[in-house]
Structure 1
Amino acid sequence: MKHIYSFLISYFVFINVVSCSDEKYTIKMKGSDTEVNLAVNLAEQFDKIDHSFSIAISGGGSGLGITSLMNGQADIANSSRPLTDEEIQLFKEKNIELKTIVFAEDATAFVVHEDNPIEEIDIQTLGKILNGTTSTWKSVSGLDMPINIYGRQSSSGTYSFVKKKLKIEYSPKSKEMTGNAQILEGIKIDKSGIGYVGAGYISKKIGENKGIKVLKIKESPTATAVSPLNPEAIKKRQYFFQRPLYQFIPVQSWEKVKPFIEFETKGAGRAIIENSGYYLIN
Structure 2
Amino acid sequence: MERELAKCILFLSVCLGLVFCTGCSGRGNSIKMKGSDTEVNLAVNLAEQFATIDPEFNIAISGGGSGLGITSLLNGQADIANSSRPLSKEETKQFKDKGIALRTIIFAEDATAFVVHRDLPLEEIDVATLGKILSGEIKNWAEITTTDLPINIYGRQSSSGTHSFVKKKLDIEFSSAAKEMTGNAQILEGVKADKTGIGYVGAGYVAHEPTANESVKILKIKESETAVAQSPTDPEAINNRLYFFQRPLYQFVIEKSWDKVKPFIDFERSPLGEKLIEAHGYYNTQEVISD
Same fold (TM over 0.5): yes
* Partner amino acid, structure 2, of 1:161: F
C-alpha distance 199-10 of structure 1, shift in aligned 2 (>3 A): farther
Does 2:69 align with 1:72?
no
Structure with more of its chain in helix, by fraction: 2
Question: In the TM superposition, what whole-angstrom CA distance separates every residue of 1:200-258 from its partner, at most 9, and x where no partner exists?
Answer: 00123455542101000000011100010101110010000000000000000000110
1:8 maps to 5
**Gap runs ≥5 in structure 1:** 1-6
Aligned position for 1:46: 50
Does residue 217 (structure 1) correspond to residue 221 (structure 2)? The answer is yes
2:20 alignment partner, SS class = coil
Q: Does 1:197 align with 2:201?
A: yes
Partner of 1:27: 31
Contact kept? 2:142, 2:149, Cα under 8 Å: yes
RMSD: 1.6
Trace 1:69-108 onto structure 2 (pairs within 5 A). 69-108=73-112
Aligned-pair CA distance for 1:267: 4.2
1:234 and 2:238 are equivalent in the alignment: yes
Query: 1:25: how far off?
Result: 1.3
Q: Percent identity?
A: 65
The aligned runs of 1:80-159 (5 Å cut-off) are 80-159=84-163
> Residues 108 and 10 from structure 1, CA distance in 2 versus in 1: closer, same or farther, beyond 3 angstroms?
farther
Question: Is 1:14–1:58's contact at 8 Å kept on the other side of the alignment?
Answer: no
The answer on whether the counterparts of 1:62 and 1:81 sit within 8 Å (CA) in structure 2 is yes
> 1:135-174 CA deviation, whole Å, 9 max, x = no partner?
0000112210100000000000000000000000000000
Deviation digits for residues 69-112 of structure 1 (CA, Å, limit 9, x no counterpart): 01100000000000000000000111100000000010000000
Q: Which runs of 5+ in 2 are unaligned?
A: 287-291
Equivalent residue of 1:19, what SS? helix
How many angstroms apart in 2 are the aligned matches of 1:114 and 1:195? Answer: 13
Alpha-carbon distance change, 62 to 34 in structure 1, aligned in 2, over 3 angstroms = same
Q: Quick one: which amino acid aligns to residue 57 of structure 2?
A: F
Cα deviations by residue, 1:168-191 (Å, 9 ceiling, x for unpaired)? 000000000000000000000000
Contact 1:148 1:174 in 2 (8 A): yes
Q: Distance in 2 between matches of 1:150 and 1:136?
A: 15
Q: How many positions carry a matched residue from both structures?
A: 276
Secondary structure of 2:81 counterpart = strand
**Residue 36 of structure 1 aligns with which residue?**
40
259-268 or 171-180: which moved more? 259-268
Distance 1:126 1:141 in 2: 13
